[in-house]
Each structure stands twice: as C-alpha cells, then as structure tokens.
Structure 1
Amino acid sequence: MTSEAGDINKYQKTEESLQDSQIELLALFNAIHDVILVLNAEGRYLKIAPSSAPSLYKPPAEMVGKTMHEVLPHAFADNFLNCIQQTLGTKKTVKIEYSLPISDQVVWFEASIAAMGEDKVVVVARDISDRKRLEDQLRQQAQDLEQTLQELKLTQTQMIHSEKMSSLGQLVAGVAHEINNPVNFIHGNLNPLQEYIQDLLRLTELYQKYGLSNQPEIQELIEEIDLEYIKEDLPKTLNSMTVGTQRIRQIVLSLRTFSRIDEAEFKEVDIHEGINSTLMILKHRLQDIEVITDYGKLPLLECYAGEMNQVFINVLVNAIDAIEQRKLQQRVAQIYDNIGKIKVQTRVVDSQWIKISIIDNGIGMNDDIQKQIMNPFFTTKPIGKGTGLGMSISYQIITERHGGKFECYSNPEKGTEFIIQIPIHQ
C-alpha cells in the first residue's frame, strides 16, 4: 500500500508539473504575440496557438483539421505549401515574408518554418505590419528626397544654363551694336563715293576728248595705272563693297534678333525671323548641309521670343550633330550621294496653333533613346560634347512656358523629326 501511495503521489506531482508547464507555455505564447502553427506535409493545420491571437486569419476552430487550400487564398496556399515541402526536404529553416487581409486591413508577417520530424513543420509567424509601414515611409521619404535632389540639381543647372544664354545674348547684342556702327558708316558713304568717282571718270573722259591728256607725262601715267581697266573695274569694286556691307548688315540684324534670349516678356513676334537668325548664327556649321525652308503664311506668335530662339538653336544643333555622326560612319562616296539635309517647315494648324517641323537625315535614334531624349542629363554624345540638357530645357520651354507640344519621331540611319506646336494666343 505504501508503494502504491508513493506511485500515486509521484503521478500527481508529475501531472501538476505538466499543468504548470502548460500554463507557463500558454502565458509565454500570449506574451510574445506570435502565431505558432503546426502543419503536416499536406499543409493541414494540426495545432494553432495562441487560440485568441488577433492576427489569425480565421478562428482556430475554423482552421484546425483543414488544409491551407481550404482556408487561405489559393495562390498564397500554393506558395506556402512549397515552402513547407522545401523545409521537410532540406531539414533547414525557411524564412518568408507575406501579407494577408485580416479585419479589413492588410497584415504583414515574417515567418520561420522548421521541420518537426519527417512529416510535420512548425511555423512561427510574427506581425511586422508596423515595421513594414515604417519601411514604406522611409522608402517614400528616400524617393521624395532623391526626387527633390534631382529637381534641385536640374534647377541649378538650368539656372546656370539660362545665365550663360543670357550672357551670350548680351554679348551678341553688344557685338552686333559695335559692328553695326562702323558698317553703317561705311555703307552710308558708298553711294556718295560712287557718285564722286563717276564724276571724276567723266572729267577724265573730257580731258581725253579735248586732247588735254596728250602730254607725255600724263599719257605715261594713264598707261601706268591702266586707266581703261580702272574705269571698267572700279564700278564693279564699289558694287561688290555695297553687297558686302549689305551682307554684314543682315548678319548684324540676325545677331540682334537672336539676342532676344535675355527678354523675359511675352511679345508678338514673327517666328520666321527667329528661325532665320538662328540659321545665320549656325551658318559656319551648315556649310556642307543643305537647308530647306518651307515656310507657311503665319500670323504673329505670342511667345517668349528669346526662349523660342533657344529651342531652335538646341534642335538645330542636335540635327547638325546627328548628320555629322552619320558622316563619320559612311564612306566618301556615300556622303557624296547622301548629302546632309535639314528641312524647316512651318504651318498653321486648326487656325489656333503654329506647327514647326525640323527634319534631318542624320544618324537617327532607336526607341530606347527616343524615350529618354527629353530626360534631364541624358545624352548620347561624348563627354564634353553635350550636357544632356538641351532637349529637356526645350521641352520645358515649349510645354510648360508656352502650353505647347514637343514631339520627336526618329528612325535609325534615316533621320529625326522634331515637331513643335504652340498656341498662337497665350
């Protein structure tokens, strides 16, 4: 009897110890707020603890005994079952992150899946929604900061570029003014000079007519200076000088038109004057390129004249560079047969818009480059050849400053067309 009593007493102590362990384990489960699941190789729920966890997809009574495919979204169950099978196959703990819709909100979990024997796994899942939200906030802040830095960098570069263009405009205007004064002085004196020379030539003819030039000394000088040749060539020389000064005056006018880049007001302007002045400025680079102008009858355009000139010079320089790149890849015979061409066409569209097309037969661009050409700092030119801002600034001038459209169409090896459309009235 004593032995039986001892066994009973030992059994009671063992049972009490197990109950205490279960209570401690349950308290531990409730304290850590993690979800612990035991599943078999088929993904069937065997045990769930704690039973009152707020982050459970469904109450344990609706889950225990069922497979994951019966409880969870099908695609999610497929992925989780693969992880279970991987764990059982490798006997290594697998960690995953996943989300589930619980109580009208998306809850994120971080789970560790460990093998329990040959056909069971234990899953410890922790709610990491707060961490995920914080990560998302930090990621968004990082993206916002990166975007802000890019905008600041772009703004700084644009300000520098605009300041350079403004300085260039002032320089061009100053040079044009300084050239204009002496050229006007020379040009203004050519007509009187021509009249004076004509008078002197008539006087010389009278001397010859009445034999006053028969003196040996005078006759010797006439032969020495070749008077007949002077009489024939001098008018041609004066005419050539007149044409030259007219040409210089046209160049000065183009420089003054182009120097509008420092103007900051909307004005009604003849857009053809801006295009022609830009072509004149770039004439030194257009010597081996055929320029075709197909101008329509346009009304005066309300715009920032200087900024429009900036767009024209950016697009035309881009076209010239594309033609030069094509020449570098061709043989001499090919260059001769396919001379560089730039066509500038203007039209009125729907009586409300002006359309300007600048077309070249340069090297062209593929789709990937076309998608990025308007992005700030994107360039295909060698280092030091381009900043990658010309097209981006032009795009902003047309779309943001003038409410217009700026489009690019290109084919490799065939050429590129830039289309600018601007409302006539702002």
Structure 2
Amino acid sequence: MQDVILVLDAEGRYLKIAPSGAPLLYQPPAEMLGRKIHDVLSSACADYFLNSIQQALLTKKTVKVEYSLSIGEQEVWFEANIASMDENTFVCVARDISERKQMEDQLRQQTENLAQTLQELRQTQAQMIQAEKMSSLGQLVAGVAHEINNPVNFIHGNLTYIEEYTQDLLRIIHHQQQSGNKLEFQALCEEIDLEYIQKDVPRILSSMKVGTQRIRQIVLSLRTFSRIDEAEFKAVDIHESIDSTLMVLQHRFQETTKLPAIQVIKDYGTLPLVECYGGELNQVFMNILANAIDALEEWTIENAQLRIDNFTSGLLTPTIAIRTSVIDAGWVKIAIANNGIGMSEQIQKQVFNPFFTNKPVGKGTGMGMFISYQIITETHRGKLECHSIPAVGTEFVITIPIQH
C-alpha cells in the first residue's frame, strides 16, 4: 500500500501505524508510537491536525485535510481523510499528492501566464484600435478643415467689402445731415458708386449667409459622424450616418491631379431607425469609403492612358455606389461598391485579417477592415462580406439587425 494509515487517540497520540515500511513515513514507527503529534510535527502542523481530530470526533463525519512535510531533502504534500472510530480514537489515511500539487502549480502558473498574455493582447488591441481611430480622426480633421475653409473664406473675403460699403454709406448719411446740398450729395453718390453698393450688398449678405449655413451643416455632420453623445445602443438614421461620413470625406471626392471627381450614386431604400452604436458604425462607413477612394485612385494611376482615352465616354468615371434596403423584415442591408482596381480571390480571403494590407508602406495600418469586421459581427451581431472582381470593382455588404 502507498497510503499511510495512522490510528491516534483524542489527544493526538500515535497508537498504530501501517504499513510500517512505507517509504513516506515522516519518522520510523518506533520513534512515533506512543508519542503525541506535538512531539513529532511542527507546532502549526500539529495544531492543524488536532483541530481536525476534534472536528471529526465532534461531527462524526470524515474531515479532509491537506498538509506538507519535509521528508529528506524534499517537501512532500499529503491529502488525509480523518474519521472517528469511537469516542476516543480516530483513523487517518494519508496519501502522497506531491505530483498532483506539482501539476496544479504548473497549471496555475500557466493560467497566470495566459492571463497576463491575454491582458497584454487586450492592451495591444486597444492600442491598435486607438491608432486606427486616430487614423480615421486624421481623415476626419482633414476633411472638416477643407470643407470649413471655403465658407469661411466666403465670409472673410466679403467682410472687407461690407466694411468699406458701410463706411461709405455712413459718410453719405453724415454729409446729408451736415449740408443737405443735393449736388454735393449726388457727387458723393457717384464717387462711392452708390448704385453698385445697393446691388452688391444684398449679394454679399446672401453669400455670407450661404457660408454660415454651410459651416453649420458641416458642424452638424461632424457631430452626427462622431456621435459624441451616443455611448449606448440607440435608434439611428442610417442614411444620416452615411451622409455625414460622405460630408467628412467630401474633399476626397473632388478632382485632384491624381483622380478626377468621384461620382457618388445613392440608391437609398426606405429604412426604419436601426438600433446600433452610431459612432462605431460611422467608423465602418469611413473605413470602407476611404478604401474605395484609395482603390479608385490606384486604378486611375495604373491606367492613366486608358483613362485619358476613355474618360469622355464615361467608361472609367470613378464611381462609388451606395444601396440600402430592408431584408427579411428584421435586417438592414448596406452595400457600398466602387469600380476601382478590385481584388484577387487570395486578397479577398485576407481582407478582414489583422495587420493585412495591400497598400504602400506607411499608408495602411492593416487594422481598418479587421476592426470594421469586429464592429459588425461581434458588437452588432451582423455580417460583413466582401465581393470583388479584379479590374472590375469591389463591393462590401453590411447586414445588421434592426433591433437587438
């Protein structure tokens, strides 16, 4: 037998020990028999055993204990079952569990290591998500700066004329008050070209009004895009979210040296309000639309001569098409397609993988579509699919439930 069987009395005195030749005995039986626990074991271990003995005698139930003893040069762990035999004696069956304890320690250490690794991964993921958000924020800021610049220039440029016209009008009023001479008044009117001022002032005020309305529209779109005050699931107008993202990216749709003006086709269906995280969904729209613009730019650069030859026919007009619809009554479908460079089947299989990008070094983080996929599939319990044909174009299809 590998187990050690001990019979002791209520005071903790060793009465019997079996088997007498067990290799795991703390001391030879001859040195233990007739002695009390406190004479053999350490004070703390002896107190622990004696309390367990009293508990077993009192409750008439088996008490299980775990303890360790220094045997030779190693620490040996035991698991013991203590049960009363009568009012004055009890039996203790002890088994070596050192191997199990060692495995438990190893598993505990592995668990701690895995927990630490998981924590580090979560921190890394949070940092990458933050980096991706900052990348999106950079595009947002660039777009807003560009869009606000024009209406501000309208207002600033017209303020000079308004100031001059106001001074001239004040001079006329002052002169008329002082002299009342009609000839001089007429000469002054001709000097400042009062007739032109009368026509131009309403135009300037109208231009300034358009400029301020444009700024207000941009600010509202920025607020809708950022969803600063929406940290929970809320009913959101999907079309309003898409339009706000398009507004933020408006500067990239305009004609540049690399890319002609991008045509945006919106085929909006009748959608109900959708319960979602508006800000996160806008981040998905931003990533997909920004990638579409990059694909159109790359396609245009690679096929510059072809574009020049066929641009007038409309064959290669850079186009982004956005379609929305309700499917299966409880789901909303948003499809965003472009007629850019397209992707091979191999790239399509990796497009949602973390760190994967086919953009030039320094331009793509490889996290935009990965984060978008997580937002749609995990946060919103939806689907994000990619369909692409090389040299034809790419379409991303978002499907999310209307209610959660």
TM-score, normalised via structure 1 length:
0.54
Q: 1:228 aligns with which of 180, 195, 202?
A: 195
Root-mean-square deviation (CA, aligned residues, Å) is 3.9
CA-to-partner distance for each residue in 1:33-53, whole Å, 9 max, x for gaps? xxxxxxxxxxxxxxxxxxxxx
Aligned positions of 1:127-276 closer than 5 A: 155-164=122-131, 214-216=182-184, 218-260=185-227, 263-276=230-243
CA-to-partner distance for each residue in 1:197-232, whole Å, 9 max, x for gaps? 99x99xx89x99xx956232x222211211111111
Give the whole-Å Cα distance in 1 for the aligned partners of 2:244 and 2:270: 18
- Note if 1:366 corresponds to 2:347: no
Deviates most, 402-411 or 336-345: 336-345
In structure 2, the residue matched to 1:388 is: 366
Give the whole-Å Cα distance in 2 for the aligned partners of 1:353 and 1:311: 17
In structure 1, the residue matched to 2:37 is: none
Q: Is the 8 A contact 2:136 2:283 kept in 1?
A: no
Aligned positions of 1:23-42 closer than 5 A: none
Give the whole-Å Cα distance in 1 for the aligned partners of 2:359 and 2:117: 21
* Residue identity opposite 2:369 in structure 1: M
In structure 1, the residue matched to 2:302 is: 329
| CA distance 1:369–1:273, change in 2 (3 Å) | same
| CA distance 1:235–1:342, change in 2 (3 Å) | same
In structure 1, the residue matched to 2:387 is: 409
Q: Is the 8 A contact 1:323 1:360 kept in 2?
A: yes
In structure 2, the residue matched to 1:21 is: none
CA-to-partner distance for each residue in 1:118-165, whole Å, 9 max, x for gaps? xxxxxxxxxxxxxxxxxxxxxxxxxxxxx9999778644431243356
In structure 1, the residue matched to 2:253 is: 286
Q: Is the 8 A contact 1:169 1:260 kept in 2?
A: no
| CA distance 1:162–1:320, change in 2 (3 Å) | same
Q: 1:308 aligns with which of 273, 281, 287?
A: 281
Give the whole-Å Cα distance in 2 for the aligned partners of 1:358 and 1:153: 35
In structure 2, the residue matched to 1:344 is: 322
* Residue identity opposite 1:230 in structure 2: I
| CA distance 1:389–1:213, change in 2 (3 Å) | farther
Question: Which blocks of at least 5 consecutive residues in structure 2 are unaligned?
Answer: 1-113, 156-161, 255-260
| CA distance 1:170–1:408, change in 2 (3 Å) | closer
* Residue identity opposite 1:228 in structure 2: E
Give the whole-Å Cα distance in 2 for the aligned partners of 1:387 and 1:303: 26
Give the whole-Å Cα distance in 1 for the aligned partners of 2:133 and 2:392: 35
Q: Is the 8 A contact 2:136 2:287 kept in 1?
A: no
TM-score, normalised via structure 2 length:
0.57
Question: Which blocks of at least 5 consecutive residues in structure 1 are unaligned?
Answer: 1-146, 188-193
SS of 1:293's equivalent in the other structure is: strand
The structure that has the greater radius of gyration is: 1
| CA distance 1:419–1:154, change in 2 (3 Å) | farther
SS of 1:215's equivalent in the other structure is: helix
Give the whole-Å Cα distance in 1 for the aligned partners of 2:137 and 2:262: 29
Give the whole-Å Cα distance in 2 for the aligned partners of 1:316 and 1:149: 37
Give the whole-Å Cα distance in 1 for the aligned partners of 2:118 and 2:246: 32
Q: Is the 8 A contact 2:129 2:371 kept in 1?
A: no
Give the whole-Å Cα distance in 2 for the aligned partners of 1:165 and 1:232: 51
Higher RCO (CA < 8 A, seq sep 6+): 2
| CA distance 1:387–1:245, change in 2 (3 Å) | same
Give the whole-Å Cα distance in 2 for the aligned partners of 1:151 and 1:416: 35
| CA distance 1:255–1:168, change in 2 (3 Å) | farther
Tell me the percent identity: 54
In structure 2, the residue matched to 1:69 is: none
SS of 1:268's equivalent in the other structure is: strand
Q: Is the 8 A contact 1:346 1:357 kept in 2?
A: yes
Q: How many residues align?
A: 260
Q: Is the 8 A contact 2:136 2:286 kept in 1?
A: no
